[in-house]
Structure 1
Amino acid sequence: MTAIRLFKGGFGHVSLLRAAGDLVTHAHPECHIILWLAGNPGAIQVGPERVVPDSNIAVGVNSLQPHGHCFANDGAPGNFLAFYIDPRWIETHLGIEAGTPVFPSAAIPLTDELRGMIRSIIDHVFRGEGHQVLREADIEYLIETIVRGSAGETPSRAMRPVVDWRIRKAIAFMSAHVEDRVCFDALAQSVGLSRPHFFALFKEQTNLTPNLYWNTLRMEEALRQVEEHSLPLTAVACNLGFTSQGNFTRFFRDHTGVPPTLYRDATRPAA
Protein backbone atom coordinates (compact mmCIF):
# COMPACT_ATOMS: atom_id res chain seq x y z
CA MET A 1 0.00 0.00 0.00
CA THR A 2 1.33 3.42 -0.86
CA ALA A 3 -0.05 6.91 -0.37
CA ILE A 4 1.28 10.39 -0.80
CA ARG A 5 0.40 13.97 0.04
CA LEU A 6 2.39 16.77 -1.56
CA PHE A 7 3.13 20.39 -0.71
CA LYS A 8 5.01 22.64 -3.14
CA GLY A 9 6.76 25.94 -2.56
CA GLY A 10 9.67 28.07 -3.65
CA PHE A 11 12.05 25.74 -1.83
CA GLY A 12 10.97 22.70 -3.86
CA HIS A 13 8.44 20.23 -2.49
CA VAL A 14 7.80 17.98 0.48
CA SER A 15 5.79 14.76 0.54
CA LEU A 16 4.10 12.87 3.34
CA LEU A 17 4.57 9.29 2.21
CA ARG A 18 3.47 5.83 3.26
CA ALA A 19 5.41 3.13 1.47
CA ALA A 20 6.84 -0.36 1.83
CA GLY A 21 8.36 -1.06 -1.59
CA ASP A 22 12.09 -0.77 -2.20
CA LEU A 23 13.45 2.20 -4.12
CA VAL A 24 16.20 1.39 -6.59
CA THR A 25 19.48 3.25 -6.47
CA HIS A 26 18.71 6.60 -8.06
CA ALA A 27 19.63 10.28 -7.96
CA HIS A 28 17.94 13.62 -8.53
CA PRO A 29 19.05 17.24 -8.86
CA GLU A 30 17.36 18.26 -5.60
CA CYS A 31 18.93 17.89 -2.19
CA HIS A 32 16.94 15.40 -0.16
CA ILE A 33 16.01 15.10 3.53
CA ILE A 34 14.18 11.96 4.66
CA LEU A 35 12.47 11.88 8.05
CA TRP A 36 11.03 8.67 9.47
CA LEU A 37 7.70 9.08 11.25
CA ALA A 38 6.34 5.63 12.09
CA GLY A 39 6.25 2.00 11.00
CA ASN A 40 8.99 0.22 9.08
CA PRO A 41 12.01 2.54 8.58
CA GLY A 42 13.89 0.30 6.18
CA ALA A 43 17.54 1.09 5.48
CA ILE A 44 18.74 3.88 3.22
CA GLN A 45 22.02 3.54 1.34
CA VAL A 46 23.56 6.92 0.48
CA GLY A 47 26.80 6.45 -1.40
CA PRO A 48 28.95 4.33 0.94
CA GLU A 49 26.82 5.10 4.02
CA ARG A 50 23.96 2.92 5.23
CA VAL A 51 21.52 4.70 7.55
CA VAL A 52 18.49 3.33 9.38
CA PRO A 53 16.36 6.40 10.11
CA ASP A 54 14.62 6.68 13.47
CA SER A 55 13.30 9.35 15.83
CA ASN A 56 16.87 10.53 16.47
CA ILE A 57 18.36 10.25 12.98
CA ALA A 58 17.24 11.74 9.66
CA VAL A 59 18.87 11.10 6.30
CA GLY A 60 20.48 13.77 4.11
CA VAL A 61 21.23 13.25 0.42
CA ASN A 62 23.16 15.73 -1.70
CA SER A 63 22.24 16.78 -5.21
CA LEU A 64 22.88 13.95 -7.72
CA GLN A 65 24.12 11.63 -4.96
CA PRO A 66 23.17 7.98 -5.56
CA HIS A 67 20.84 6.51 -2.92
CA GLY A 68 18.35 3.69 -2.49
CA HIS A 69 15.87 2.51 0.13
CA CYS A 70 15.42 -1.14 1.12
CA PHE A 71 12.63 -2.50 3.30
CA ALA A 72 12.27 -5.81 5.11
CA ASN A 73 10.56 -8.58 3.18
CA ASP A 74 7.52 -8.61 5.49
CA GLY A 75 5.89 -5.83 3.48
CA ALA A 76 5.20 -3.68 6.53
CA PRO A 77 4.86 -0.02 5.48
CA GLY A 78 6.63 3.00 6.91
CA ASN A 79 5.60 6.63 7.12
CA PHE A 80 8.07 9.30 6.00
CA LEU A 81 8.36 13.04 5.47
CA ALA A 82 10.57 13.63 2.43
CA PHE A 83 11.92 17.02 1.34
CA TYR A 84 13.19 17.72 -2.19
CA ILE A 85 15.05 21.02 -2.02
CA ASP A 86 15.99 23.06 -5.08
CA PRO A 87 19.77 23.73 -4.99
CA ARG A 88 19.11 27.21 -6.37
CA TRP A 89 16.98 27.97 -3.31
CA ILE A 90 19.77 26.70 -1.06
CA GLU A 91 22.28 28.94 -2.82
CA THR A 92 20.01 31.99 -2.69
CA HIS A 93 18.65 31.59 0.84
CA LEU A 94 21.44 29.79 2.68
CA GLY A 95 24.48 31.05 0.80
CA ILE A 96 25.79 27.56 -0.01
CA GLU A 97 27.43 27.70 -3.41
CA ALA A 98 26.01 25.46 -6.12
CA GLY A 99 28.01 22.24 -6.40
CA THR A 100 28.94 22.22 -2.72
CA PRO A 101 27.62 19.16 -0.85
CA VAL A 102 25.09 20.30 1.72
CA PHE A 103 25.39 17.23 3.95
CA PRO A 104 28.90 16.04 4.94
CA SER A 105 27.29 12.88 6.34
CA ALA A 106 24.07 11.12 5.41
CA ALA A 107 23.13 10.65 9.08
CA ILE A 108 21.60 13.83 10.54
CA PRO A 109 21.01 13.98 14.31
CA LEU A 110 17.57 15.22 15.33
CA THR A 111 17.15 17.40 18.39
CA ASP A 112 14.01 17.89 20.49
CA GLU A 113 13.57 21.24 18.76
CA LEU A 114 13.66 19.66 15.31
CA ARG A 115 11.23 16.91 16.32
CA GLY A 116 8.82 19.56 17.55
CA MET A 117 9.13 21.48 14.28
CA ILE A 118 8.46 18.29 12.31
CA ARG A 119 5.28 17.59 14.27
CA SER A 120 4.17 21.18 13.74
CA ILE A 121 4.69 20.94 9.97
CA ILE A 122 2.68 17.74 9.75
CA ASP A 123 -0.14 19.31 11.76
CA HIS A 124 -0.22 22.69 10.04
CA VAL A 125 0.99 21.97 6.53
CA PHE A 126 -0.72 18.67 5.80
CA ARG A 127 -3.62 18.64 8.25
CA GLY A 128 -4.33 22.32 8.78
CA GLU A 129 -5.86 25.07 6.75
CA GLY A 130 -3.16 27.68 7.34
CA HIS A 131 -2.13 30.23 4.75
CA GLN A 132 0.26 28.99 2.03
CA VAL A 133 2.89 31.61 2.84
CA LEU A 134 2.91 30.77 6.55
CA ARG A 135 3.11 27.03 5.89
CA GLU A 136 5.96 27.55 3.44
CA ALA A 137 7.81 29.69 5.98
CA ASP A 138 7.57 26.87 8.54
CA ILE A 139 9.08 24.41 6.06
CA GLU A 140 11.86 26.77 5.02
CA TYR A 141 12.80 27.38 8.66
CA LEU A 142 12.98 23.63 9.31
CA ILE A 143 15.15 23.07 6.22
CA GLU A 144 17.47 25.91 7.21
CA THR A 145 17.80 24.58 10.77
CA ILE A 146 18.61 21.06 9.57
CA VAL A 147 21.09 22.20 6.92
CA ARG A 148 22.96 24.59 9.20
CA GLY A 149 22.99 22.08 12.04
CA SER A 150 24.33 19.25 9.90
CA ALA A 151 27.19 21.24 8.34
CA GLY A 152 29.57 20.55 11.23
CA GLU A 153 32.86 22.30 11.79
CA THR A 154 34.56 21.02 8.62
CA PRO A 155 33.26 22.74 5.48
CA SER A 156 32.41 20.51 2.54
CA ARG A 157 34.48 20.84 -0.58
CA ALA A 158 32.72 21.77 -3.78
CA MET A 159 32.16 18.89 -6.16
CA ARG A 160 34.52 18.88 -9.08
CA PRO A 161 32.79 20.08 -12.27
CA VAL A 162 32.66 17.92 -15.37
CA VAL A 163 35.66 19.06 -17.39
CA ASP A 164 36.22 16.30 -19.92
CA TRP A 165 34.74 17.46 -23.22
CA ARG A 166 33.70 13.92 -24.16
CA ILE A 167 31.56 13.52 -21.04
CA ARG A 168 30.12 17.02 -21.47
CA LYS A 169 29.20 16.08 -25.05
CA ALA A 170 27.59 12.82 -23.89
CA ILE A 171 25.59 14.64 -21.20
CA ALA A 172 24.41 17.23 -23.72
CA PHE A 173 23.26 14.46 -26.05
CA MET A 174 21.42 12.62 -23.26
CA SER A 175 19.73 15.84 -22.12
CA ALA A 176 18.59 16.66 -25.66
CA HIS A 177 17.24 13.15 -26.28
CA VAL A 178 15.61 12.39 -22.94
CA GLU A 179 12.45 11.18 -24.69
CA ASP A 180 14.37 8.77 -26.95
CA ARG A 181 16.16 5.52 -26.27
CA VAL A 182 19.90 5.81 -25.82
CA CYS A 183 22.39 3.13 -26.87
CA PHE A 184 25.42 3.60 -24.65
CA ASP A 185 27.68 1.65 -27.01
CA ALA A 186 26.82 4.09 -29.80
CA LEU A 187 27.10 7.06 -27.45
CA ALA A 188 30.56 5.97 -26.31
CA GLN A 189 31.64 5.53 -29.92
CA SER A 190 30.28 8.97 -30.84
CA VAL A 191 32.63 10.61 -28.32
CA GLY A 192 35.60 8.47 -29.33
CA LEU A 193 35.68 6.07 -26.39
CA SER A 194 35.28 2.35 -25.89
CA ARG A 195 32.33 1.33 -23.72
CA PRO A 196 34.50 0.39 -20.67
CA HIS A 197 36.52 3.63 -20.93
CA PHE A 198 33.35 5.67 -21.37
CA PHE A 199 31.68 4.15 -18.30
CA ALA A 200 34.81 4.57 -16.17
CA LEU A 201 35.37 8.18 -17.25
CA PHE A 202 31.69 9.08 -16.81
CA LYS A 203 31.71 7.71 -13.25
CA GLU A 204 34.97 9.53 -12.49
CA GLN A 205 33.59 12.85 -13.76
CA THR A 206 30.03 12.71 -12.38
CA ASN A 207 30.06 10.11 -9.57
CA LEU A 208 27.20 8.42 -11.46
CA THR A 209 27.13 5.67 -14.04
CA PRO A 210 25.74 6.65 -17.45
CA ASN A 211 22.67 4.48 -16.79
CA LEU A 212 21.99 6.18 -13.46
CA TYR A 213 22.46 9.66 -14.95
CA TRP A 214 20.17 8.74 -17.85
CA ASN A 215 17.47 7.47 -15.48
CA THR A 216 17.79 10.71 -13.48
CA LEU A 217 17.04 12.74 -16.61
CA ARG A 218 14.14 10.47 -17.55
CA MET A 219 12.68 10.64 -14.05
CA GLU A 220 12.79 14.44 -14.04
CA GLU A 221 10.94 14.50 -17.36
CA ALA A 222 8.49 11.87 -16.11
CA LEU A 223 7.63 14.00 -13.07
CA ARG A 224 7.11 17.04 -15.28
CA GLN A 225 4.82 15.19 -17.67
CA VAL A 226 2.86 13.38 -14.94
CA GLU A 227 2.04 16.77 -13.44
CA GLU A 228 0.50 17.76 -16.79
CA HIS A 229 -2.95 16.54 -15.81
CA SER A 230 -4.34 16.79 -19.34
CA LEU A 231 -1.76 14.30 -20.64
CA PRO A 232 -2.82 10.61 -20.34
CA LEU A 233 -0.32 8.41 -18.53
CA THR A 234 -0.21 6.10 -21.54
CA ALA A 235 1.04 9.09 -23.55
CA VAL A 236 3.65 9.89 -20.90
CA ALA A 237 4.90 6.30 -21.05
CA CYS A 238 5.07 6.45 -24.85
CA ASN A 239 6.80 9.84 -24.80
CA LEU A 240 9.58 8.43 -22.62
CA GLY A 241 10.13 5.36 -24.77
CA PHE A 242 8.48 2.73 -22.55
CA THR A 243 6.91 -0.20 -24.35
CA SER A 244 3.93 -0.29 -21.98
CA GLN A 245 2.31 1.79 -19.25
CA GLY A 246 3.05 -1.07 -16.85
CA ASN A 247 6.79 -0.74 -17.45
CA PHE A 248 6.56 3.01 -16.96
CA THR A 249 4.56 2.58 -13.72
CA ARG A 250 7.20 0.18 -12.38
CA PHE A 251 10.00 2.60 -13.28
CA PHE A 252 8.18 5.52 -11.64
CA ARG A 253 7.33 3.58 -8.47
CA ASP A 254 10.87 2.22 -8.13
CA HIS A 255 12.21 5.78 -8.13
CA THR A 256 9.59 7.60 -6.06
CA GLY A 257 7.91 4.97 -3.90
CA VAL A 258 4.46 5.62 -5.42
CA PRO A 259 2.84 4.88 -8.79
CA PRO A 260 2.30 7.80 -11.18
CA THR A 261 -1.49 7.75 -10.64
CA LEU A 262 -1.09 8.53 -6.94
CA TYR A 263 1.60 11.12 -7.59
CA ARG A 264 -0.65 12.86 -10.12
CA ASP A 265 -3.55 12.86 -7.66
CA ALA A 266 -1.31 14.42 -5.01
CA THR A 267 -0.36 17.28 -7.35
CA ARG A 268 -3.95 18.22 -8.20
CA PRO A 269 -4.92 21.66 -6.90
CA ALA A 270 -7.17 21.61 -3.87
CA ALA A 271 -10.82 22.04 -4.73
Structure 2
Amino acid sequence: MSDALRIAHGAFGRVALLDMDRSLVRHAHHHCHLLIKVEGDDTQFLVGESVAPLTDALAVCVNAWEPHAYVHDPARARTVILALYIEPDWLGEFRPNWAASSGGGFFERSCGEISPRIRALAMDLSAAMVHAPLAKTEHERLLGELMIAVIERFSPWRSVSLREAALAGGVDWRVRRAIRLMQKDPCAAPDVG
Protein backbone atom coordinates (compact mmCIF):
# COMPACT_ATOMS: atom_id res chain seq x y z
CA MET A 1 0.00 0.00 0.00
CA SER A 2 1.26 3.51 -0.78
CA ASP A 3 1.60 5.80 2.23
CA ALA A 4 2.21 9.49 2.84
CA LEU A 5 5.04 9.42 5.37
CA ARG A 6 4.91 13.20 5.85
CA ILE A 7 2.98 16.08 4.32
CA ALA A 8 3.73 19.79 4.64
CA HIS A 9 1.49 22.49 3.23
CA GLY A 10 1.40 26.25 3.16
CA ALA A 11 1.43 29.18 0.77
CA PHE A 12 4.00 27.23 -1.29
CA GLY A 13 1.50 24.46 -1.99
CA ARG A 14 2.14 20.96 -0.72
CA VAL A 15 5.20 18.77 -0.22
CA ALA A 16 4.74 15.07 0.45
CA LEU A 17 7.15 12.30 1.30
CA LEU A 18 5.48 9.28 -0.31
CA ASP A 19 6.24 5.58 0.14
CA MET A 20 4.92 4.19 -3.15
CA ASP A 21 4.22 0.57 -4.03
CA ARG A 22 0.95 0.97 -5.94
CA SER A 23 0.05 2.69 -9.20
CA LEU A 24 -1.65 6.08 -9.15
CA VAL A 25 -4.33 6.95 -11.72
CA ARG A 26 -3.73 9.46 -14.48
CA HIS A 27 -4.56 12.95 -13.22
CA ALA A 28 -3.59 16.62 -13.55
CA HIS A 29 -3.57 19.65 -11.26
CA HIS A 30 -2.82 23.36 -11.32
CA HIS A 31 0.52 23.02 -9.54
CA CYS A 32 3.85 22.62 -11.22
CA HIS A 33 5.00 19.28 -9.89
CA LEU A 34 8.42 17.81 -9.23
CA LEU A 35 9.24 14.27 -8.14
CA ILE A 36 12.61 13.29 -6.68
CA LYS A 37 13.54 9.76 -5.60
CA VAL A 38 14.68 9.66 -1.97
CA GLU A 39 15.29 5.93 -1.55
CA GLY A 40 14.25 2.51 -2.82
CA ASP A 41 14.02 1.14 -6.33
CA ASP A 42 14.13 3.21 -9.48
CA THR A 43 10.70 3.73 -10.98
CA GLN A 44 8.89 5.74 -13.64
CA PHE A 45 5.95 8.02 -14.31
CA LEU A 46 3.85 8.51 -17.39
CA VAL A 47 3.90 12.25 -18.19
CA GLY A 48 1.69 13.20 -21.10
CA GLU A 49 2.35 10.31 -23.48
CA SER A 50 6.00 9.78 -22.47
CA VAL A 51 7.62 7.58 -19.84
CA ALA A 52 9.79 9.61 -17.45
CA PRO A 53 12.27 7.59 -15.36
CA LEU A 54 12.70 8.46 -11.67
CA THR A 55 16.16 7.46 -10.43
CA ASP A 56 18.85 8.74 -8.09
CA ALA A 57 20.12 10.86 -10.99
CA LEU A 58 16.84 11.84 -12.73
CA ALA A 59 13.89 13.86 -11.45
CA VAL A 60 10.42 13.91 -13.02
CA CYS A 61 9.10 17.36 -13.97
CA VAL A 62 5.38 17.87 -14.60
CA ASN A 63 3.91 21.13 -15.87
CA ALA A 64 0.65 22.51 -14.50
CA TRP A 65 -2.41 20.72 -15.92
CA GLU A 66 -0.21 18.09 -17.60
CA PRO A 67 -1.73 14.60 -17.27
CA HIS A 68 0.53 12.18 -15.42
CA ALA A 69 0.36 8.84 -13.64
CA TYR A 70 2.54 6.62 -11.49
CA VAL A 71 2.78 3.14 -12.96
CA HIS A 72 4.23 0.80 -10.34
CA ASP A 73 6.13 -2.26 -11.52
CA PRO A 74 5.20 -5.05 -9.08
CA ALA A 75 8.59 -6.70 -9.71
CA ARG A 76 10.25 -3.71 -8.04
CA ALA A 77 10.40 -2.85 -4.36
CA ARG A 78 8.93 0.30 -2.84
CA THR A 79 10.16 3.78 -3.71
CA VAL A 80 10.19 6.77 -1.36
CA ILE A 81 9.48 9.92 -3.36
CA LEU A 82 9.69 13.60 -2.44
CA ALA A 83 6.70 15.05 -4.31
CA LEU A 84 6.45 18.84 -4.66
CA TYR A 85 3.13 20.44 -5.66
CA ILE A 86 4.08 24.11 -6.00
CA GLU A 87 1.71 27.08 -6.17
CA PRO A 88 2.53 29.41 -9.09
CA ASP A 89 1.80 32.54 -7.00
CA TRP A 90 4.37 31.45 -4.41
CA LEU A 91 7.00 31.01 -7.13
CA GLY A 92 6.07 34.44 -8.47
CA GLU A 93 7.21 35.92 -5.15
CA PHE A 94 10.77 34.81 -5.97
CA ARG A 95 10.74 36.15 -9.53
CA PRO A 96 7.62 37.56 -11.23
CA ASN A 97 7.95 35.49 -14.40
CA TRP A 98 8.07 32.27 -12.36
CA ALA A 99 4.31 32.68 -11.94
CA ALA A 100 4.28 31.40 -15.54
CA SER A 101 4.61 27.95 -13.93
CA SER A 102 0.80 27.93 -14.01
CA GLY A 103 0.96 27.36 -17.76
CA GLY A 104 2.37 24.64 -19.97
CA GLY A 105 5.99 24.57 -21.00
CA PHE A 106 7.47 25.86 -17.75
CA PHE A 107 9.56 22.69 -17.58
CA GLU A 108 11.13 21.92 -20.96
CA ARG A 109 11.24 18.15 -20.48
CA SER A 110 9.43 15.59 -18.34
CA CYS A 111 12.66 14.46 -16.69
CA GLY A 112 16.11 15.86 -16.13
CA GLU A 113 19.41 15.07 -14.50
CA ILE A 114 19.60 16.50 -11.01
CA SER A 115 22.66 18.36 -9.80
CA PRO A 116 24.50 17.45 -6.58
CA ARG A 117 22.98 20.60 -5.01
CA ILE A 118 19.41 19.56 -5.93
CA ARG A 119 20.10 16.07 -4.55
CA ALA A 120 21.49 17.46 -1.27
CA LEU A 121 18.61 19.92 -0.80
CA ALA A 122 16.01 17.22 -1.54
CA MET A 123 17.62 14.88 0.99
CA ASP A 124 17.87 17.68 3.58
CA LEU A 125 14.20 18.58 3.10
CA SER A 126 13.15 14.92 3.34
CA ALA A 127 15.19 14.43 6.53
CA ALA A 128 13.80 17.63 8.07
CA MET A 129 10.23 16.51 7.32
CA VAL A 130 10.86 13.17 9.08
CA HIS A 131 13.03 14.28 12.01
CA ALA A 132 11.60 17.77 12.62
CA PRO A 133 8.00 17.60 11.34
CA LEU A 134 6.97 20.82 13.10
CA ALA A 135 9.89 22.92 11.78
CA LYS A 136 7.72 24.67 9.16
CA THR A 137 10.09 27.63 8.74
CA GLU A 138 13.02 25.31 8.04
CA HIS A 139 10.93 23.24 5.61
CA GLU A 140 9.92 26.35 3.66
CA ARG A 141 13.52 27.66 3.61
CA LEU A 142 14.82 24.36 2.22
CA LEU A 143 11.93 24.17 -0.25
CA GLY A 144 12.66 27.69 -1.49
CA GLU A 145 16.33 26.86 -2.06
CA LEU A 146 15.38 23.58 -3.74
CA MET A 147 12.89 25.23 -6.10
CA ILE A 148 15.37 27.95 -7.09
CA ALA A 149 17.93 25.25 -7.96
CA VAL A 150 15.31 23.18 -9.82
CA ILE A 151 13.95 26.08 -11.87
CA GLU A 152 17.41 27.34 -12.78
CA ARG A 153 18.26 23.85 -14.02
CA PHE A 154 15.03 22.65 -15.67
CA SER A 155 13.09 25.72 -16.77
CA PRO A 156 13.79 28.21 -19.56
CA TRP A 157 12.46 30.94 -17.23
CA ARG A 158 14.97 33.50 -18.48
CA SER A 159 13.46 33.28 -21.95
CA VAL A 160 9.78 33.50 -20.95
CA SER A 161 8.34 36.45 -22.83
CA LEU A 162 6.32 39.16 -21.13
CA ARG A 163 3.37 38.11 -23.28
CA GLU A 164 3.57 34.49 -22.04
CA ALA A 165 3.93 35.64 -18.43
CA ALA A 166 0.92 37.95 -18.76
CA LEU A 167 -1.22 35.21 -20.32
CA ALA A 168 -0.20 32.68 -17.66
CA GLY A 169 -1.56 34.97 -14.94
CA GLY A 170 -4.65 35.85 -16.95
CA VAL A 171 -7.21 33.60 -15.28
CA ASP A 172 -10.69 35.06 -15.54
CA TRP A 173 -11.81 36.79 -12.30
CA ARG A 174 -14.89 34.56 -12.08
CA VAL A 175 -12.73 31.44 -12.14
CA ARG A 176 -10.39 32.91 -9.50
CA ARG A 177 -13.42 33.75 -7.32
CA ALA A 178 -14.89 30.25 -7.69
CA ILE A 179 -11.53 28.69 -6.79
CA ARG A 180 -11.24 30.90 -3.69
CA LEU A 181 -14.77 29.91 -2.59
CA MET A 182 -14.05 26.20 -3.08
CA GLN A 183 -10.75 26.44 -1.20
CA LYS A 184 -12.43 28.29 1.66
CA ASP A 185 -15.14 25.65 2.16
CA PRO A 186 -15.00 22.66 -0.22
CA CYS A 187 -18.28 21.20 1.10
CA ALA A 188 -20.37 24.35 0.78
CA ALA A 189 -22.72 25.11 -2.07
CA PRO A 190 -21.74 28.77 -2.47
CA ASP A 191 -23.85 31.40 -4.18
CA VAL A 192 -21.81 32.39 -7.23
CA GLY A 193 -24.47 34.72 -8.64
- Considering the TM-score relative to the shorter chain, is it more than 0.5? yes
| Structure 2 equivalent of residue 2 of structure 1 | 2
Residues 6, 15 of structure 1: 8 Å contact kept: yes
Q: Which amino acid aligns with 1:113?
A: R
Q: Could you say which residue in structure 2 is the equivalent of 1:128?
A: 132
> In the TM superposition, what is the alpha-carbon distance from 1:142 to its structure 2 partner?
0.5
User: SS in structure 1 opposite 2:120?
Assistant: helix
| Structure-2 separation of matches of 1:116 and 1:75 | 25
Question: Deviation at 1:123?
Answer: 1.8
Unaligned stretches of 5+ residues in structure 1: 162-167, 177-216, 229-238, 240-271
Q: In structure 1, give the amino acid aligned to 2:116.
A: D
**1:1-271 pair list within 5 angstroms:** 1-4=1-4, 5-74=6-75, 76-95=77-96, 96=98, 97=100, 98-99=102-103, 101-128=105-132, 131-152=135-156, 155=159, 158=164
Deviations 1:6-29 (A, max 9, x none): 011221110000011111221001
Deviations 1:184-238 (A, max 9, x none): xxxxxxxxxxxxxxxxxxxxxxxxxxxxxxxxx9xxx79x85xx9xxxxxxxxxx
Distance in 1 of aligned mates of 2:105 and 2:92: 11
Q: Name the aligned partner's letter for residue 3 of structure 1.
A: D
For residue 55 of structure 1, report the CA deviation from its aligned partner: 0.9
Q: Which runs of 4+ in 1 moved over 4 A?
A: none
Cα separation, partners in 2 of 1:6 and 1:70, compared to 1, 3 Å: same
TM-score using structure 2 length: 0.75
Work out which of the two has the higher radius of gyration on C-alpha atoms and give 1 or 2: 1
Q: How many residues align?
A: 175
Corresponding residue SS for 2:35: strand
Identity of aligned residues (%): 22
Residues 228-264 of structure 1 deviation map (CA, whole Å, 9 limit, x = unaligned)? 9xxxxxxxxxx9xxxxxxxxxxxxxxxxxxxxxxxxx
Question: What 5-or-longer segments of structure 2 have no aligned partner?
Answer: none
Measure, in 1, the Cα distance between the counterparts of 2:140 and 2:158.
30
Q: Relative to total residues, which structure has the larger helix share, 1 or 2?
A: 1
Letter in 1 for 2:121: M
| Aligned-residue RMSD, C-alpha | 3.4
